[in-house]
Amino acid sequence: MRNGDPDVTGITIDDLQLLADEIKAFATRPDAAELRWTVAVKGENPTAVLQGFIQHCLNRLHVLHVVLFNDGRISAPPELGIRRRKTWKDELTPPDTPPRIKYVVERWLRLQLSTGSTAETTVGQVRDDIRRLIVWLTEAYPAVESLDQLTREHMEEFLEWLAALINPRTKAPYAIQTRRGTVSSLVVFFRETGRLGWSDVPGRPLLGPADLPRTVQSLPRFIPRDQLDTVMEIAEALECPFQRAAMLTIRWTGARRSEVRRLEVDCLDAYPDGYPRLRLPVGKGRTERTVPLHPHAAEALRPIIDMARAANYAPRLDPTCQRLVQRIFVNLGKPISAEYLFMTPLKMACEKLGLLDAEGRPLINPHRFRHTVGTQLAEGGAQLQTIMSILGHRSASMSMVYSRMTDPVVKEQYEQVLATTGRIAGPAVDLLLKDGLDEEAVHWLKTNFFKTELELGHCLRLPQEGPCECDLYLRCGKFFTTSEYAPRLRQRLATEQQLIQDATERGWPREIERHAAISRRLRELLTELGQPEDGEHAPCIRPDNGDRQ
């Protein structure tokens, strides 16, 4: 009507944006609310009624955009509010950034975006990290107009400010990992801009690896078996086929949420023997990958794929791989959010099972399924390369954490020493309990632990440290024993008592003193182990490997 053109096939994105502007402008009229019947006749709240009416109109306009996009009449993908929402790329630096600093920072960030060498989400994080420095700089040193004016003293002040900076969401200081990421981004920024020879940059390293806050390496939080089984029972009973398929897929693949949301219509096929295989899109590792898929999950995906093919929605540009794709998790022409696919069913399941923290938040999030798959693979004896391939890890160190969690040697020794209600004693206890062994020693002991066994315990001495004397001197710093050796300790104590008696009869005071000292040490070890001195003696059998040389 506005253009006087009855041909609706000529509607463009500009027409939709213009109509959205007119709807919003209508809301600013002083009499806009009075034109609504519920206000004029029923006396309802004018502000609430007008806001609801405007939102209703914009939602209807959005639906029209979705229809025209999937019909091929408009090429711009639909977004709520018609106009493109403002993103972090529209404001790379704070508004009050000095011009010379603004130019350098924005030039650097746009270079990262244009080359594609760094993931877009990573560039966004780097942008936030550099913004923290700019915010501090404009407040603490407003006279600084260029980054080449910065000194090491400036950066040391910034590090102190960063350590005390409060996260507005948690009302607590930022986590160590966040601060470490900020410092790391600045290290790279200063190094690379200096290497490129840009002006208005320090041209020298103001920060280095020593400035990175030390982090605590935490283990992956896998889902315990009992919780996993009950949560998946609820997931399998979900009425929504999209939610059910999404939940089963992350359960059996350990894929990231973004990877599952972006699955394409040709994602599912099979190995030569017929076992299902899933092709996951380009993710954090910047590569596609195929993984085996549990038949139960494949069964849930097939109807979703069939629906996507039948609907034949218009393909959308995938920013990660930069090509048009047809996704399967699409409803009424719109991609389904991760919130609906994963968080909504998980929240419902956790509330039903009582799996909530002190603040009422779900204890299980989608990423824990990824940790669970990695842990189960390691526990099942999967090779490191297999874990890397399934989880899409770029380096072995990322997958090794699961192997460390399920180390069979650690489990075996735990069962021998602790799980049987046993105890541990001896000078080497502190080395074991306080993680005092270096990596070389740990590696040798893992692969050669049988060589450490002695008559009365174990010796942690490495081959290059010389011959073992623990059986002679029970105070050696590398000696420890366990409750398992209590019968042998008691038998050795009885032998020492006999030797004391024999030396007394022969008049050998030095021998009496020596055997008495060994007896005292044996009693100390038995006391540390919580074992009595007189008990049922077990036969003292030397280890098969004989004395250590």
pLDDT in tens, 359-376: 889 999 999 999 999 988
> pLDDT per residue over 89-99, tens digit each?
888 999 999 99
Task: Determine the number of helices (DSSP H) and then strands (DSSP E) in the chain.
Answer: 21, 12
Q: Is 100 left (phi over 0), alpha (psi -120 to 50) or beta?
A: alpha
Contact 394, 285 (CB under 8 A): yes
**pLDDT band at 218, cuts 50/70/90?**
confident
- β 268-270/289-292 pair status: unpaired
Q: Token pair of 153, please?
A: 């003293």
The pLDDT of residue 275? 94
- Compute the average pLDDT of residues 182-202: 92
**pLDDT band at 409, cuts 50/70/90?**
low
Instruction: Flag whether pLDDT at 180 surpasses 50.
Output: yes
Share the mean pLDDT of the chain: 83
Nearest to 123 by CA among 133, 112, 132: 112
CB atoms inside a 10 Å sphere around CB 471: 16
Contact 173, 113 (CB under 8 A): no
Q: How does DSSP classify residue 175?
A: P
E strand or H helix that includes residue 245 = helix 241-253
> pLDDT per residue over 460-481, tens digit each?
777 767 776 666 657 777 787 8
* Vertex 90: Cα angle to 89 and 95 (nearest 5): 115
Q: Which range, of 172-186, 188-202, 465-479, averages the lowest pLDDT?
A: 465-479
Q: Is 433 left (phi over 0), alpha (psi -120 to 50) or beta?
A: alpha
Instruction: Flag whether pLDDT at 540 surpasses 60.
Output: no
CB atoms inside a 10 Å sphere around CB 524: 14
- Compute the average pLDDT of residues 106-124: 85
**pLDDT band at 232, cuts 50/70/90?**
very high
Cα–Cα distance, 94 to 106 (Å, whole number): 11
> pLDDT per residue over 283-304, tens digit each?
777 788 999 999 999 999 999 9
Distances (CA, A) of 539 to 301, 492, 495, 527, 543: 62, 11, 13, 21, 12
CATH assignment of 225-401, among 3.90.1170.50, 1.10.10.60, 3.40.570.10, 1.10.443.10: 1.10.443.10
The pLDDT of residue 134? 95
The sign of the torsion formed by the CA atoms of 255, 256, 257, 260 equals negative
> pLDDT per residue over 326-360, tens digit each?
999 999 888 999 999 999 999 999 999 999 998 88
Contact 76, 13 (CB under 8 A): yes
**pLDDT band at 404, cuts 50/70/90?**
low
Coil vs helix vs strand at 441: helix
N-term to C-term CA, the chain: 99
Q: What is the CATH number of domain 99-211?
A: 1.10.150
Q: Token pair of 515, please?
A: 């055997």
**pLDDT band at 542, cuts 50/70/90?**
very low
At which residue do the structure tokens 């105070």 appear?
475
74 phi, psi to nearest 5 deg: -130, 130
The pLDDT of residue 157? 95
Global confidence as pTM: 0.63
Nearest to 482 by CA among 536, 532, 416, 408: 416
> pLDDT per residue over 471-510, tens digit each?
665 777 778 788 878 888 899 999 999 999 999 999 999 9
The pLDDT of residue 477? 75
* R_g (Cα) of the chain, nearest Å: 34
Domain ranges of the chain: 1-85, 99-211, 225-401, 424-529
Q: How does DSSP classify residue 71?
A: T
* Vertex 124: Cα angle to 201 and 345 (nearest 5): 165
Cα–Cα distance, 42 to 189 (Å, whole number): 62
Return all residues near 471 (Cβ < 8 A) that are at least 6 apart.
Answer: 454, 455, 456, 547
- Compute the average pLDDT of residues 210-223: 84
**pLDDT band at 451, cuts 50/70/90?**
low
Instruction: Flag whether pLDDT at 403 surpasses 70.
Output: no
Q: Token pair of 249, please?
A: 């897929």
